[in-house]
Amino acid sequence: MHHKIPKSAAMVVAVGASGDAMDSTPSLFTAGLAIGAALLYLLAAWQQVLNLETGAERQRQQIAMVGTAAIAAHALAAYLPAQAGESSLGFYRVASLMFLSMGVISLVALVARPLHTLLIVLFPLAALSILVATFAPDTSRPMSDLPAGILSHVSASIISFAVLALGVLQGLLVTVQSRQLRQHRNRGVIRKLPPLEAASALFYELTGAGFLILTVAIGSGMIFIDDLFSQHLVHKTVLTILAWCLYTVLLVQYFRRGWRVQSAITLNLIAFSLVVLGFFGSKLVLELVLPRTV
């Protein structure tokens, strides 16, 4: 039998338990890990920029190794405060976890999918996220241990956001590549990218995978959180369900009619915007905006 989480616990997940911010001064070791992770991320991104010109397989392996080291340092820098009883779901720390998830998924997917170009954008953002999460004042109170049901919901939500965000980045890359090809500018970096058909297929794969995990996140929320339509959760629930409906339309149209990829990318951007508002809208207002107006 599943026990639903009461509203008070759900509030913690929804808005990060906004209130008196905890002392978030990092230890020297954690600070060093965060700085090291950021530098490794930037190094890997720069190596990928250079690799666009050469396309050398050996250099790609080096990028994967540096990226793996960056992710390991990022993960440890995020884990140590939680191990010390300083865990929270504040705005900056959740953003850091999402970029960490995007990095892990990207490196794993590199084994079978051409995601290398996305690293140029992803890794600098991941570097920024771990630095801000480590050194900026925390925006929420520390949390006690969460029930397994809530942890499963939070984990599914973070992973779904990460995969959907990768889909958005891939869609933007397809848009740029398609525009350049239509203007007969098939040279330089564009020539080093995967074929447009393969890039479009990867966009749909990422969007479909993110949609499935988002479905799991919504389902786990319905099972483990009491009253998803209560005042502090209703906006998140409604926006997420609307986004889920748009993703459903996108994927159904693609599988039934082979929808034009540009139309799918546009709808994907709208759906992801709703996910972002549902994920971060209330956290941004309650943790960063309202405290400054009080």
* Contact criterion met (CB below 8 Å) for 24 and 100: no
d(CA 49, CA 72): 22
Return the sign of the alpha-carbon dihedral for residues 156, 157, 161, 164.
Answer: positive
Contacts of 215 (CB under 8 A, 6+ apart): 244
Distances (CA, A) of 159 to 39, 115, 117, 262: 24, 17, 21, 25
Cβ-in-10-Å burial (0-12, 13-18, 19+) of 147 comes to: middle
Average pLDDT rounded to a whole number, residues 175-201: 80
Task: Return the half-sphere exposure (C-beta side, CA atoms, 13 A cut-off) of residue 167.
Answer: 31
Give the model's pLDDT for residue 273: 95
Predicted confidence (pLDDT) at residue 186 exceeds the cutoff of 70: no
Considering only CA atoms, give the Rg of the chain: 20
Enumerate the β-bridge partners of residue 98.
Answer: none
Backbone φ, ψ for residue 229 (5° rounding) = -105, 20
Cβ-in-10-Å burial (0-12, 13-18, 19+) of 140 comes to: buried
Residue whose C-alpha is closest to residue 125's, from 42, 32, 35: 42
Selected residue with higher pLDDT from 260 and 173:
173
Q: What is the DSSP letter of 245?
A: H
Per-residue pLDDT of 94-116, as tens digits, reads 899 999 999 999 999 888 888 88
pLDDT band at 7 (very low <50, low <70, confident <90, very high): very low
Tokens of 100: 């960490």
Of 16-20, 28-32, 208-212, give the lowest mean pLDDT range. 16-20
Task: Compute the residue count for the chain.
Answer: 294
Q: How many other C-beta atoms can be found within 10 angstroms of the C-beta atom of residue 189?
A: 14
Enumerate the β-bridge partners of residue 225.
Answer: 5
Enumerate the β-bridge partners of residue 6.
Answer: none
Contacts of 201 (CB under 8 A, 6+ apart): none
Average pLDDT rounded to a whole number, residues 36-46: 97
Q: What is the DSSP letter of 241?
A: H
Of 79-93, 126-140, 245-259, 265-279, give the lowest mean pLDDT range. 79-93
* Contact criterion met (CB below 8 Å) for 106 and 119: yes
pLDDT band at 17 (very low <50, low <70, confident <90, very high): very low
Average pLDDT rounded to a whole number, residues 266-290: 81
Global pTM reads 0.84
Average pLDDT rounded to a whole number, residues 255-281: 88
